[in-house]
Amino acid sequence: MLEDEPVASEVHRYNIGDIEVTVLSDGFRMVPVDDKYIRNAGTAEIAAELAAAGLPTDKIKNTYAPIVLATAGRRVLIDTGNGEAVRAQSKGERGTLDSSLAAAGLDRNAIDVVVISHFHADHVNGLLTADNKPAFPNAQIKVPEAEWKFWMDDGEMSRASAGRMSELFANNRRVFDALGRKVTPYAWDEEVAPGVTAVGTPGHSIGHTSFVVASGGARVFVQQDVCNNAVLFTRHPGWHGFFDQDPVRAEATRRRVCDMLVAEQMPVQAYHFPFPALMRVEKQGDGYKVTPTTV
């Protein structure tokens, strides 16, 4: 890590039965709150909710927490962060996964499997180094088959709306073409690594996937963008973020997953929740409340 970079690498470890979880920070981004952030709520409503949580009201701190699972002798990375190129552009605010891996005593050459949840830039761009080489050269790259089918479909790309969707198509082609499209698609309900089962949670994207990690009677639900911000989308599961591809389906998925986590008292490891991003979910009013927890 360069000495003038402001971001400290962050590492948090815990166990789910025999599976060791290492939570790694990939930094953060301050996202301005404007009237486009939530499609069906205005800035005043958003600000009121942020203020009630004791947070700044004009910007949202979006954080990124990839995890490495040590399971049955394999090292499995779930999502790859923003990537080294963005690290330089953001002056070390994000794209810091490599520093966090080093701080955890992990070498990216020793990652055996990379499992991708969905094809948004803050989850896939870390597949490449700053010079567009594979960042995890010895790893099998596993991707949701629904996601792969959609983003690699030339017809879908030709119909993509200008702006966000067409940029996402271009970015995904850039990343996966640099990898020679050498990926292994996986299906929902499939075990993607020992003790790690893929769960379909579509809406945020067509093939957005979560995971149940289970070992020795303990279970944790790994979710990335079912609930993005830990305050806004738990308190208001009916709010539709600009980043949800199918917002109605995303809301249905969010309510179904949160209800399940409450009913089964299953902790959630959530990619965009405040580090170390391990929370329990409770019902509160029409929505939910999350608080830090342990396994």
What are the DSSP calls for 2-55, one per residue? -TT--PPP-EEEEEETTEEEEEE--BEEEEE--TTTBTTS-HHHHHHHHHHTT-
Give whichever of 49 and 225 is closer to Zn ion, judged by the CB atom: 225
Contact region with Zn ion (CB under 5 A), list: 191-199, 211-219, 221-229, 280-288: 221-229
Give whichever of 84 and 225 is closer to Zn ion, judged by the CB atom: 225
Minimum Å gap between C-beta 217 and Zn ion is: 30
Which residues make beta-bridge pairs with 27? 94
Give whichever of 26 and 225 is closer to Zn ion, judged by the CB atom: 225
Minimum Å gap between C-beta 288 and Zn ion is: 19
| Interatomic CA distance for residues 12 and 104, integer angstroms | 8
Give whichever of 10 and 122 is closer to Zn ion, judged by the CB atom: 122
Asked if 225 touches Zn ion (CB under 5 A), the answer is yes
For the segment 245-284, give every residue that binds Zn ion (CB under 5 A).
none
Minimum Å gap between C-beta 96 and Zn ion is: 16
14 sits in the region (left: phi over 0; alpha: psi -120 to 50; else beta) called beta
Q: For residue 240, count other CB atoms closer than 10 A to its CB.
A: 18
Minimum Å gap between C-beta 82 and Zn ion is: 10
Minimum Å gap between C-beta 239 and Zn ion is: 16
Minimum Å gap between C-beta 271 and Zn ion is: 6
Q: For residue 166, count other CB atoms closer than 10 A to its CB.
A: 14
| Interatomic CA distance for residues 227 and 236, integer angstroms | 10
Q: Which residue is nearest to Zn ion (CB)?
A: 225
Asked if 10 touches Zn ion (CB under 5 A), the answer is no
Minimum Å gap between C-beta 244 and Zn ion is: 11
Give whichever of 147 and 225 is closer to Zn ion, judged by the CB atom: 225
Give whichever of 94 and 142 is closer to Zn ion, judged by the CB atom: 94
Q: How many residues bind Zn ion (CB under 5 A)?
A: 2
In the block, which residue shows the tokens 């490891």?
269
Element (H, E) at 166: helix 164-178
Phi, psi of 231 (to 5 degrees): -95, -55
- Closest by CA to 67, choosing from 56, 79, 53, is 79
Give whichever of 214 and 257 is closer to Zn ion, judged by the CB atom: 257
Contact region with Zn ion (CB under 5 A), list: 114-122, 181-189, 229-237, 276-284: 114-122
| Interatomic CA distance for residues 4 and 201, integer angstroms | 40
Residues whose CB falls within 8 Å of the CB of residue 125, separated by 6 or more in sequence, listed in order: 80, 81, 82, 83, 85, 86, 95, 171, 175
Pairing of strands 67-71, 19-24: antiparallel
Give whichever of 145 and 225 is closer to Zn ion, judged by the CB atom: 225
Binding map of Zn ion across residues 118-147, x = CB under 5 A, - = no contact: ----x-------------------------
Minimum Å gap between C-beta 53 and Zn ion is: 20
- Which residues of the shown chain bind Zn ion in the complex (CB under 5 A)? 122, 225
